[in-house]
Amino acid sequence: MKSVKVGLLGLGTVGTGVVKIVEGHQEDLSNQVGSPISIVQILVKDRTKTRSISIDASKLTEDPWEVVRNPEIDVIVEVMGGIALTKEYILEALERGKHIVTANKDLMALHGPEILAKAREHGCDVLYEASVAGGIPIIRTLVEGFSSDRITKIMGIVNGTTNYILTKMSQEGAAYADVLKEAQELGYAEADPTSDVEGLDAARKMTILSTLGFRANVSLDDISVKGISNVTQEDIQYAKRLGYEVKLLGIAERQDDHISVSVQPTMIKQSHPIATVNGVFNAVYVHGEAVGETMFYGAGAGELPTATSIVADIVAVVKNMKLGVNGRQAQLSYNVVKLKTDEQISSKFFLLLHVDDRTGVLAQIAQVLSNCEVSIESVMQPSAPNQSSAEIIIITHQASKASMNKVLEAFEGLSSVRKIKSVYRVEG
C-alpha cells in the first residue's frame, strides 16, 4: 500500500498535536483509508529548537517553499497562521496539485472564495474544519449534514476567550479587567487581546459559517461587530435577576433571500442550552427548516481537539483520493448576498437607563417607546433610596433595529434621561 505523504507548515501547539495523532494512530488511520499516512516534511522557524516530541531532524526545514514544491507531498497541512504569504504558499501548492488542510480562519474568512475556486480549477480539496470551533465538526455538518435542508439561523459562542471572561464575571462577580488579566496569564488571551474581546475573531468565524450555511459569499464587511469590553458587572447581575446570561454571540439569520450577520454581547435566556456553555468551551446552534433546532458543543481550541479536526480532514482528503473525486466538494457559493435592512432585523432588546428620580419619568419613557412602535415586555426599577437619579430596566417585545435606533435617539434628547447605560439584544 502506497503511503500518502503529508507536508506540515508549522509546528506550534496545533502542529505538534497533528504529529502526535498521525504517528500515534497509524493503525486506525491505515484501516480507515487503506494506506499509511506519513508526515515527510515539516516547516519550522528554528530547526535547532528543543521540542516536546521526538522528530527526525531530516524532516525539518526553515524554507516554506521546500514543502510547497516538494513533488512527493500529496497533502499540505497549514497551521502556521498569517494571511498574505500563507495565501501565496497555498495557491501555488494548489497549482501543483496538492490538497490543503488548514486551520487558518483569518485566511479563509478573507480569501476563502478565491482559494476554493483555485482548488476546484485544479481538482484539489481544501478542507478547513479546524478553522472554526476547534474540535467541533461544525463545518462538515453544515456542508454535508444540512445539504438537504435550508438553514435559517446560526447562533454560536465561537470565541473561548470571551466566553471564559464572561463566565468568570457571571459566576464569581469578578470585574472585566481582572478576568482579562487572568485570561492572559493562563494563555487564553493574547498580550494584545483586541481581536478576541472586540469580537473580530468571532466575526471571522461567523463569516465562514454564514457563507457555508447560506451558500453565499458573506464578507467580513457584511458583519456588524461589537465586543465585550464595555460589559459591566452591573449588566451581568441585572441579566441574572431577569433570568438571562450575557454571552458574546455570533448570530446569522436568513429570511426569504435576505440575511443578517452580527457579533455582539447578547442576553440569552438561562433555559436556552447556549446559556449553560461556560469557560473556554464553544457551541453552535443551527436551525433548519426541516430538522428544526440542533446544537453542537465542545472544546473550541487546544492542541488535541483542534488537531483531531485537522486529521479528520486529512482522512477525508485521502478517501477522496482513493475514490478519484478530489475537488468536487469545493463549496462555491451560488446565492447573492442580500443584506437585511435595519427595518428587517428584529429582536427583543434590554435597556438600562439612568434617569431623574421624579414623578412622570416612566410615563415619558413609555410614550417614547410607543411613538416608535416598540412595546414593553417587562420593566423594573431597582430601589435607590436618597438619590436624585434612578435606574430603569426595560425588556421590549420583538422590535426592529430601526425602531430601536429611533428610541435611542429620542432618549438622547429627553432631559429626564441622564444616560443610556446599556443596550443588549435579547435571545431565547
Q: How confident is the model at residue 300 (pLDDT cuts 50, 70, 90)?
A: confident
Sequence ranges of the chain with CATH classification 3.40.50.720: 4-134+303-323
Give the number of other Cβ atoms within 10 Å of residue 404's Cβ.
23
337: pLDDT strictly greater than 70:
yes
Q: Is 38 left (phi over 0), alpha (psi -120 to 50) or beta?
A: beta
Give the number of other Cβ atoms within 10 Å of residue 247's Cβ.
27
Query: Contact 373/341 with Cβ under 8 angstroms?
Result: no
Catalytic residue list: 205
Q: How confident is the model at residue 52 (pLDDT cuts 50, 70, 90)?
A: confident
Q: Is 331 left (phi over 0), alpha (psi -120 to 50) or beta?
A: beta
Task: Give the tens place of pLDDT for each residue, 128-171.
Answer: 999 998 889 999 999 889 989 999 999 999 999 999 999 999 99
Q: Could you tell me which CATH class the domain 346-427 is placed in?
A: alpha beta
One DSSP character per residue, 375-395 reads: -EEEEE----TT-SEEEEEEE
Task: Give the tens place of pLDDT for each residue, 208-229.
Answer: 999 999 999 999 999 999 999 9
CA distance 86 to 80: 8
Task: Give the tens place of pLDDT for each residue, 81-112.
Answer: 999 999 999 999 999 999 999 999 999 999 99
For the structural domain made of 4-134+303-323, what CATH number should be given? 3.40.50.720
One DSSP character per residue, 12-56 reads: SHHHHHHHHHHHHTHHHHHHHHSS-EEEEEEE-S-TT---SS---
Q: Which CATH superfamily is domain 138-299 in?
A: Dihydrodipicolinate Reductase; domain 2 (3.30.360.10)
Strand-pair partners of 420: 353
Distance of CA 106 to the CA centre of its chain: 11
Sequence ranges of the chain with CATH classification 3.30.360.10: 138-299
331: pLDDT strictly greater than 70:
no
> What is the distance between the terminal CA atoms of the chain, rounded to a whole angstrom?
53
Sequence ranges of the chain with CATH classification 3.30.70.260: 346-427
User: Count of H helices and E strands in the chain?
Assistant: 14, 17
CA distance 402 to 407: 9
Threshold 0.85, pTM exceeds: yes
CA-CA distances (angstroms) from residue 423 to 14, 164, 412? 38, 22, 13
